[in-house]
Amino acid sequence: MRGLTNSLVWLTAALAAVPSVLASPAKVRSSCGYKKFELTLTWEKGSPDGVERDLIKVNGQFPGPTLEFTEGDHVEVLVHNKMPFNTTVHYHGIEQKGTPWSDGVPGVTQRQVQPKESFLYKFEATQYGSYWYHAHQLGQLEDGMLGAIIIHPKKSRATPFSKITTDAAELKAITDAAAKPYPLILSDWRHRTAEDIIAITHAANMELPCFDSILFNGKGSVNCLAPEKLKVPVNNTASLLTAQQAQVLGLANITSFTPKGCMPPPLISKTVAPNVTVYPEKVPADVLGQCTSTNGPKEVIKVEKGSESSAYIAIDLIGAFSLITGTFSIDEHQVWVYAVDGEYIIPQKVEAISITNGDRYSILVKLTEQGTFPVRFASTQNSQILVSAASLVYGSGAPKTTKPYILENGLNATATTIFFSQKAQKQLEPITIPKDSDVTHKLNIRTAGASYEWALNNNKFPASIMDHGADGVALFKAPSSASDNATISNNLDQWVDLIIVTATKPTPPHPIHKHGTKMWQIGAGIGDFTWANVKEAAAAVPQFFNFVDPPHRDGFATAQASPFNATWTVLRYHATEAGPWLLHCHVQSHLIGGMTVILQDGVDKWPVVPKAIENY
């Protein structure tokens, strides 16, 4: 069958190359349903794409070790902060039922863990599937504080695998593969620290949505593209620029992206904040312009050839990006997407998957032909063309010429490339959601003063709350029952509609992530949301709504037709857990820029916080 026995073996193998005394897997002590981990965070040197910089390591490695446990387990994560700055650790997508104080949001659910201090996170694994952990303090996710979480389903949980095959041997191969998923963390990487980037952003008064490389499990290279690929497509069939990118360049009579594949400096800001004065001369050339290719380490996913005619590998794709959205594809392999954000779906057989910040897709790959196959990821972000590849090696791994399903700009390379469809995503176990909600909140996304300052609730979220918990921790205070600039208040057990409107144009799609329980996307459309509520809208334009079997996720990107159209996206959720749950854009610069709001659920039954947490 396959060579990977489990992710811990992979972890140990990865560690062999790390010459640090700290290099040890997350210590795991397990006893009947209790899983304990220790994570030690350090600030040290590393060269993920061949260029050395300071970054965050967890137990001596980047990405951090995989936390693996089983549905129903009581989980404890003891975090030791050995970095020179404050931190918190957030468990992305984990519901934190009854433990809102373990959600890891500074100033919202806890005080920051200061240098030399430790903090114990405790929660119950009420879910199964693919999750991840990351820092929630300023730019620490961008600096590398992230790792995978695998929650094995309990034995009694129904799986969707019989919808892929009814052949007993193949079904066993699939079930065995899915029992040992291989986490593949995709991230965008810079040679400069997040702190550096924030300082340059402020000096230049513009956002800097440009990266040096794409990493697969923390490994990658800088791949500079040939100049003709970055020029406007006039008489140039090599051009990778999309019609939209060419259109934006045309507005300023510029004919090419920068050597780094980025939209040239003044345009980046002009597109989202046209009337703001910017100082592009304050941006060092390497941040948006210069490109120097490197020959960094490459992620190789190996599957051994056994006696069977084919093998399966299950991969948990984790979109751990700080900004970029793009397309994932494995040459010459159709894959089955069988879970999204940790929950089983009716499997979709696809050739390409669009992945944005925070997304998880669990896929099954059937291997029949021995060889080495490119595992591609290409940015579809308007601001940058950026592409990279890992390798999938089956059996002999003999190199071969393969046909890609996608182009270097993330678009389809063939007329028939099949993309995963979120609209067609059907949960394996759909839950009946009520036809009407109890409350409606309309949230206007807009820029708030500069291209890097943003508002979700029509207001820029006060940075002081998460930066240093200026006003005390939200969870520790008696909540107001009224919503205000930074908070939206709901009673326990209410069904809540969030109507998210991208009010200023043009705007990129924003991956809106909710902490705590997941949400359903029940509707989306182009133009302004002109109705009073969902009921009115659904009566007027029923074709844009689905109340029967909508997708269920912990993050949804806002709808987009083109960057120049306003859009609306309706997310509905059931406020079953009391606590302050963050709702925010997962683009790190947008989160830092204020595109966040606190969903204060259960203001009528606010949680009683354990003294040990409150006094921490």
Ligand X SMILES: *[C@@H]1O[C@H](CO)[C@@H](O)[C@H](O)[C@H]1NC(C)=O
User: By CB under 5 A, what part of segment 488-547 binds Cu ion?
Assistant: 510
From Cu ion, ligand X, none, interface partner of 585 (C-beta below 5 to 8 A by class): Cu ion
The size of the interface with Cu ion (CB under 5 A), counted in residues, is 4
The size of the interface with ligand X (CB under 6 A), counted in residues, is 26
Rounded to a whole number of angstroms, the minimum distance from the CB of residue 47 to Cu ion is: 29
User: By CB under 6 A, what part of segment 64-93 binds ligand X?
Assistant: 86
Rounded to a whole number of angstroms, the minimum distance from the CB of residue 412 to ligand X is: 4
112 binds ligand X (CB under 6 A): yes
610 binds ligand X (CB under 6 A): no
587 binds Cu ion (CB under 5 A): yes
CA separation for the pair 28, 38 (Å, rounded): 8
DSSP code of residue 201? H
From Cu ion, ligand X, none, interface partner of 118 (C-beta below 5 to 8 A by class): none
Query: What 3-state DSSP class applies to 604?
Result: helix
Interacting residues of 464 by C-beta distance below 8 A, sequence separation 6+: 107, 470, 471
For the record, the structure tokens of 103 come out as 């959600």
401 binds ligand X (CB under 6 A): no
φ, ψ for residue 177, nearest 5 deg? -65, -45
Angle between helices 265-272 and 243-251 (to 10 degrees): 100
Cα torsion 50, 51, 57, 60: sign:
positive
Of 195-203, 295-303, 407-415, 568-576: span binding ligand X (CB under 6 A):
407-415
Largest CA distance in the chain: 69
CA separation for the pair 51, 219 (Å, rounded): 11
Tell me which of 83, 185, 585, 603 binds Cu ion, using CB under 5 A: 585
Of 105-113, 292-300, 523-531, 579-587: span binding Cu ion (CB under 5 A):
579-587
404 binds ligand X (CB under 6 A): no
Tell me which of 462, 491, 495, 604 binds ligand X, using CB under 6 A: 462
For the record, the structure tokens of 350 come out as 């696809």
φ, ψ for residue 590, nearest 5 deg? -75, -35
238 binds ligand X (CB under 6 A): no
SS3 content of the chain, % helix, strand, coil (to 5): 15, 35, 50
Of 69-77, 274-282, 349-357, 580-588: span binding Cu ion (CB under 5 A):
580-588
Tell me which of 21, 415, 431, 478 binds ligand X, using CB under 6 A: 415
Cα R_g (the chain), whole angstroms: 23
Report angle CA 524, 528, 531 to the nearest 5 degrees: 80
561 binds ligand X (CB under 6 A): yes
120 binds ligand X (CB under 6 A): no
Q: Is the peptide bond before 479 cis (omega within 30 degrees of 0)?
A: no
Residue type at position 27: K
Rounded to a whole number of angstroms, the minimum distance from the CB of residue 441 to ligand X is: 16
244 binds ligand X (CB under 6 A): no
Write down the residue that tokens 């394996």 correspond to: 428
Interacting residues of 31 by C-beta distance below 8 A, sequence separation 6+: none
Of 11-19, 56-64, 241-249, 409-417: span binding ligand X (CB under 6 A):
409-417
For residue 287, the tally of other CB atoms under 10 A from its CB is 24
Q: How many distinct helices (H) and strands (E) make up the chain?
A: 10, 31
266 binds ligand X (CB under 6 A): no
Tell me which of 234, 243, 478, 612 binds ligand X, using CB under 6 A: 234
Of 427-435, 541-549, 560-568, 582-590: span binding ligand X (CB under 6 A):
560-568
Binding site for ligand X (CB under 6 A): 86, 111-112, 114, 234-235, 252-253, 274-275, 412-415, 459, 462, 467-469, 485, 526-527, 561-562, 564-565
Binding site for Cu ion (CB under 5 A): 510, 585, 587, 590
